[in-house]
Amino acid sequence: MNIVGINQIPGMLSWTHDSSSALVANGKIVAAAEEERFSRLRHHRGYPHQSSAFCLTQGKINLKDVDYIGVPYNPYAFLKHPNLRLESIARNLFNMAACWHYARRMRKEAGARTIFVPHHVAHAASAFYGSGFEKANILTVDGSGETESFAFFVGDSNGIRRVWDIPLSGFFSGGKWRSIGLIYTSVTSLLNLGVNGEGKTMGLASYGKPEYDFSDILNIQSHTNYRIDRRRLLERYGHLQRKESESLTQEHKNLAASLQHALERSIVNLAHEAFQYNGIKNFCLAGGVTLNCNTNSEILKQDFCDALFIQPAANDGGIALGAALEVAARKGEPATDALENAYLGPEFSNEAIEAVLSGAKVKYHKEDTIAQAAARLINEGKIVAWFQGRMEMGPRALGNRSILADPSVLGMDEKINTFVKHRESWRPFAPSVIEEAAPTYFEGVEKASKKSPYMLHTFYVKEEYSSAFPAITHVDGSSRIQTVRRDQNERYYDLLKALEAINGHPMVLNTSFNDKGEPIVCTPQDALRCFFATGMDALAIGDFIVEKSS
């Protein structure tokens, strides 16, 4: 049975961000990718034409071979939590008609039945069916589903069951003011850190102290006892609005720290309430808010949590996969294999790569052992672009579309921020480290489910290494690590082992292969454009090395 997931359909009044597609065949994940990687428009909105075509090609099928189409949107959800504002009613009715028309057209053109999966159910499925857990508590937290920004589910052999949620707004209110994710977005906007800059706010929080009161802005004790009101943010802290030309002050940093503290306490409380409900100590997380690594790690530290899994595309880029997985489960073919890696996108042969290099008239040479060649360049202090295998799913580069450097070099982080990423100098970088060595360098790694293969946990650098790796150690001593096993990514693992043979440490600074404001590279052409437009020194692409002249 072939099931395609897409998180956008034509005709709706508002497009969801992070358009994507996925293919699940006979209970196995075949492919998944975000549309932005193909269109080159970051957080692409609109129908995922190119990513859906890729998924079909990867599965060696065409549209008429598809049995079901899973769409992570429930056009009837507003009937459960109705908003009686006229504009809300009109939008919901229009979208309901668009969904009906799309399902009818797909049935006629492809013979496929369309199944609409609620937004937060798709988030939950994307995490639970990849976790490998027999049963788990599932928390989904984001800016907005159809009618909520938080939901709690239980997953087991019978599937996924919603237990409770927190609605976005009341009957007559507008603006989604009761949204956990949009409070974080609002502070990001107040600090003028840019659209989709919530990750900057999390990084900035480490420079401040939680001195501002968020008790009536974001303060969740339980799903029935909470204060979530982003309207109060401007009332209370509008005077901290940062102008574009203004430098970040300590007050700005303290505001970010206060927000982060409020979020961590709130989500930990919701996780604890879930544990109290059923005593289950396995947790799955999904939704854009769960890209917040510090909050994830706060849950992991708790005694009521034995294991925690966050899927790599926890944001809306992963709900197409979640919709497909949920449909597969409903139709008797649940995915039972744990998601061991995120390499579900396109890949390119050496022949295809060499054709691009030759066509671009760049100087290159072939290496017998590309991992060792790249390791030597990194050890020499070079900034190396690394383009290998199938592209990662999700917003983190995980060793196939990455920029790599030596984490022990003082100032390397500022150099990459300034000359490669063209972003704020204080932004932190993450390390990749072989899984078996991670506990040597970082506190608390052992408790993480599957360690930390998707760069979605934060751990503290051990005291004896606190000054050894300045380029990946944040101001508070933390680091957002990626652990790597050979069976997950053999070539990347070999590179880390090659570095260990050279300098004694199987670790590398790893950041996404892209420039400011653009998606992670997808094709060899994308890789060449980004490489020559930025301050990288070398490109390891397939078995080939491209170096810039000194």
At residue 114, the 3 state secondary structure works out as: strand
Asked if 292 and 373 sit in the same domain, the reply is no
Cβ-Cβ contacts under 8 Å for 484 (sequence gap 6 or more): 399, 432, 433, 434, 435, 453, 492, 493, 496
The pLDDT assigned to 538 comes to 98
Q: Which residues of the chain have pLDDT under 70?
A: 15, 170-175, 449, 550
At residue 260, the 3 state secondary structure works out as: helix
Give the pLDDT confidence of 515-533 residue by residue, as tens digits: 999 999 999 999 999 999 9
The pLDDT assigned to 522 comes to 98
Residue 267 class from Cβ within 10 Å (0-12 exposed, 13-18 middle, 19+ buried)? Answer: buried
Measured between alpha carbons, how far apart are the two ends of the chain, in Å? 54
Query: Rounded distance, CA 7 to CA 380, Å?
Result: 44
Query: Rounded distance, CA 546 to CA 550, Å?
Result: 13
The pLDDT assigned to 449 comes to 62
Q: Are 478 and 206 in contact (CB under 8 A)?
A: yes
Q: Are 126 and 313 in contact (CB under 8 A)?
A: yes
Asked if 516 and 373 sit in the same domain, the reply is yes
Alpha helices in 224-343 (DSSP H): 231-237, 250-278, 293-301, 319-330
Report DSSP letters for 475-527, one per residue.
TTSEE--EEE-TTT-HHHHHHHHHHHHHHS--EEEEEESS-TTSPPP-SHHHH
Domain boundary among 330, 358, 379: 330
Asked if 324 and 355 sit in the same domain, the reply is no
Asked if 186 and 292 sit in the same domain, the reply is yes
Asked if 434 and 448 sit in the same domain, the reply is yes
Asked if 484 and 541 sit in the same domain, the reply is yes
Q: In this structure, is residue 497 part of a structural domain?
A: yes
Q: In this structure, is residue 493 part of a structural domain?
A: yes
Residue 113 class from Cβ within 10 Å (0-12 exposed, 13-18 middle, 19+ buried)? Answer: middle
232 — phi, psi (to 5°)? -80, -15
Asked if 214 and 104 sit in the same domain, the reply is no
Q: In this structure, is residue 476 part of a structural domain?
A: yes
The pLDDT assigned to 451 comes to 81
At residue 195, the 3 state secondary structure works out as: coil
> Which tokens sit at 239?
């005077």
> How many independent structural domains does the chain possess?
3
Asked if 368 and 502 sit in the same domain, the reply is yes
The pLDDT assigned to 336 comes to 84
Asked if 110 and 124 sit in the same domain, the reply is yes
Q: In this structure, is residue 426 part of a structural domain?
A: yes
Q: Which residue has the tokens 């009044």?
A: 13
Amino acid symbol at 262: A
The pLDDT assigned to 30 comes to 98
* Count of helix runs (H) and strand runs (E) in the chain: 16, 22
Domain boundary among 310, 342, 363: 310
Cβ-Cβ contacts under 8 Å for 286 (sequence gap 6 or more): 123, 124, 126, 127, 138, 139, 140, 310, 311, 314, 318, 322
Q: In this structure, is residue 280 part of a structural domain?
A: yes
Q: In this structure, is residue 462 part of a structural domain?
A: yes
Q: Which residue has the tokens 């039945």?
A: 113
Measured from the Cβ of residue 119, the count of other Cβ atoms closer than 10 Å reads 28
> What does each C-alpha distance from 347 to 222, 396, 438 come to in angstroms?
45, 17, 28
Cβ-Cβ contacts under 8 Å for 230 (sequence gap 6 or more): 177, 178, 179, 182, 183, 186, 217
Domain boundary among 330, 360, 382: 330
Find the domain containing 242 and state its range.
180-310
The pLDDT assigned to 259 comes to 98
Query: Rounded distance, CA 285 to CA 404, Å?
Result: 28
Asked if 511 and 405 sit in the same domain, the reply is yes
Residue 342 class from Cβ within 10 Å (0-12 exposed, 13-18 middle, 19+ buried)? Answer: buried
Asked if 486 and 471 sit in the same domain, the reply is yes
Give the pLDDT confidence of 367-414 residue by residue, as tens digits: 999 999 999 999 999 999 999 999 999 999 999 999 999 999 999 999
Q: In this structure, is residue 270 part of a structural domain?
A: yes
Query: Rounded distance, CA 88 to CA 16, Å?
Result: 16
- How do strand 544-547 and strand 365-366 relate by DSSP bridges? antiparallel
Amino acid symbol at 542: G
Query: Rounded distance, CA 396 to CA 13, Å?
Result: 30
The pLDDT assigned to 171 comes to 59
Q: In this structure, is residue 169 part of a structural domain?
A: no
Q: Which residue has the tokens 């707004």?
A: 169
CATH number, domain of 293, equals 3.30.420.40
Asked if 199 and 221 sit in the same domain, the reply is yes
The pLDDT assigned to 446 comes to 85
